[in-house]
Chain A
């Protein structure tokens, strides 16, 4: 793997961002709106419920972490979709660029864009609504790591779906986080769900993050074993995502789809 090629992929996205407020604004606008909306909801809930339970670290903290996951996933798919929209596949893949270098470039672009969203959320949530990440302790780092890895994996799988089935399928990709959220137990304990949904939840790394987040806020301790499992699961998902993308890429080269991508064939 050559760093200059990966840097080229990142640089392309930097150039696109630098020249386009329409691309920069969504990096923090939607997460900012979410923080404000959920910040006031939690303040209201704190006001009408019995004293002693603070909704801010449970609800606002969960929204912040979930939005971070969404930003990471969308960061990868957005960077990929830029190449779809500008019909750049033939130019990119007829060069020495390796598929691993390309995917790494997408992930690095996503780290940059999702970090901006995370910083904005942290500033808003702590300055306006008094959410302190320090209240979670050092365990917040594995939380972020799990959500980052899972976001990367779903982003790569999403890119693979669009590569395989054509540009119109991007509309399958945007709702993926909404589809995952009921199973991930972002706002409620997994035990609330029916048995079959709980089975699915156990296969999703974010569910371990939110279960542990609730445990900490309720005065308990995070389960190190559960978090190690979550990280391991998330790593497996990343490898699975890369494997799927590489398989799809090989298919597109075999069928010629990559050379005539805009034709939207699903052969």
Chain B
């Protein structure tokens, strides 16, 4: 399986503070990888470095074998993201936002693509509504529609279902799962919802204090470490990372 993302020895330091400490991992095609960890573990820092909005202190990031440090624009043209902390401009309508970002990504047959995404993410009735007046769930759906605009080969999702009701969250999970299964997309997914992670992710990486502590199948990993659920394992990582590291 050819990797869509290869991260090698990635570090980020802010003065004496180490936010990310030499992590390495890969994401293959049609693979959904969960990036888990307590607040401040370095998940968003890692995502920001992959998105090219934060320069690593050391290490390399290759998207589809393109080095982001050398060919940022080319690497990001096959990438997209959605994050709860990055809503689309509220002063543009749903359609206008999708058109502007579609042009930036150079999407072919953009009007048809937008119509299909409006349908897919149940946004048709909000086509001419300003994004700022949408509910948080509708804004999340708009961000996800934007994230799918360019049929990305690498999709970065930072807590994509955080503000969605359980029914909508399930629909969104199904859509992203289907995008990975039927397309050629690899997904890096962060979430604090362990039920969701277990349902969606093929593999998880547990991050603590900027380092990858554990890696494996979310269904098997808890039992391998003497825990009954993924949530218990998460709590153990958050509270006793050193004990797990020694184990």
Listed in ascending order, the chain A residues whose CB lies under 8 Å from chain B are 2, 4-5, 7-8, 11-12, 15-16, 19-20, 82-83, 86-88, 90-98, 250, 253-256, 258-259
- Expressed in whole angstroms, the Cα–Cα distance for A100 and B158 within the complex equals 28
Cβ–Cβ contact A253 & B105, under 8 A: no
Contacts of A7 in B (CB 8 A): 103
Of B53, B72, B100, the contact of A15 (CB 8 Å cutoff): B100
Cβ–Cβ contact B91 & A96, under 8 A: no
- Expressed in whole angstroms, the Cα–Cα distance for A12 and B45 within the complex equals 28
Q: Which of A19, A87, A96, A258 has the most CB of B within 10 A?
A: A96
What DSSP secondary structure best describes chain A's contact surface? helix
Contact with A along B47-70 (1 / 0, CB 8 A): 010011111000000000000000
Of B44, B48, B99, the contact of A11 (CB 8 Å cutoff): B99
Of B14, B92, B101, the contact of A16 (CB 8 Å cutoff): B92
Given contacts A256-B14, A256-B54, contact A91 B106 (CB under 8 A): no
Contacts of B55 in A (CB 8 A): 250, 253-254
Nearest CB of B to A4, in Å: 5
Of A91, A253, A256, A258, the contact of B88 (CB 8 Å cutoff): A91
Interface pairs A-B: 6 shortest CB-CB: A8-B103, A94-B51, A86-B89, A96-B77, A96-B73, A90-B86
- Expressed in whole angstroms, the Cα–Cα distance for A246 and B55 within the complex equals 15
B81 within 8 A of A: yes
Contacts of B103 in A (CB 8 A): 4-5, 7-8, 11
Q: Which of A4, A19, A82, A94 has the most CB of B within 10 A?
A: A94
Contacts of A92 in B (CB 8 A): 104
Chain B, interface size category, equals 35 or more
Given contacts A15-B96, A94-B76, A95-B76, contact A258 B104 (CB under 8 A): no
B94-127: which have CB < 8 Å to A? Answer: 96, 99-101, 103-106
Contact with A along B209-240 (1 / 0, CB 8 A): 00000000000000000000000000000000
B175 within 8 A of A: no
Q: A91-B146, A94-B52 are in contact. List 19 more A-B contacts (CB 8 A).
A: A4-B106, A5-B103, A12-B92, A16-B92, A88-B89, A94-B51, A94-B86, A95-B105, A96-B73, A97-B73, A250-B55, A253-B52, A253-B53, A253-B54, A255-B14, A256-B12, A256-B48, A258-B53, A259-B54
- Expressed in whole angstroms, the Cα–Cα distance for A261 and B77 within the complex equals 23
Residue of A with least CB distance to B156: A94
Number of A-B residue pairs at CB separation under 8 A: 88
- Expressed in whole angstroms, the Cα–Cα distance for A11 and B53 within the complex equals 23
Q: Which of A5, A98, A255 has the most CB of B within 10 A?
A: A5
Cβ–Cβ contact A96 & B53, under 8 A: no
5 contacts between A and B (CB under 8 A): A11-B103, A91-B88, A93-B53, A94-B76, A98-B73
Of A16, A83, A95, A254, the contact of B104 (CB 8 Å cutoff): A95
- Expressed in whole angstroms, the Cα–Cα distance for A8 and B86 within the complex equals 19
Contacts of B44 in A (CB 8 A): 259
- Expressed in whole angstroms, the Cα–Cα distance for A254 and B12 within the complex equals 10
Contacts of A258 in B (CB 8 A): 53-54
- Expressed in whole angstroms, the Cα–Cα distance for A35 and B101 within the complex equals 40
- Expressed in whole angstroms, the Cα–Cα distance for A95 and B75 within the complex equals 9
Residue of A with least CB distance to B86: A90
Contacts of A86 in B (CB 8 A): 89-91
Contacts of B85 in A (CB 8 A): 90
Q: Which of B73, B74, B88, B99 has the most CB of A within 10 A?
A: B73
Residue of B with least CB distance to A256: B54
Contacts of B100 in A (CB 8 A): 8, 11-12, 15
Cβ–Cβ contact B92 & A96, under 8 A: no
Contacts of B91 in A (CB 8 A): 16, 19-20, 82, 86
Contacts of A82 in B (CB 8 A): 91
Given contacts A2-B106, A4-B103, A256-B54, contact A96 B81 (CB under 8 A): no
- Expressed in whole angstroms, the Cα–Cα distance for A254 and B49 within the complex equals 10
Contacts of A250 in B (CB 8 A): 55
Residue of A with least CB distance to B48: A259
Residue of A with least CB distance to B87: A87
Contacts of A97 in B (CB 8 A): 73, 104
- Expressed in whole angstroms, the Cα–Cα distance for A258 and B105 within the complex equals 20
Contacts of A94 in B (CB 8 A): 51-53, 76, 81, 86
Contacts of B52 in A (CB 8 A): 93-94, 253
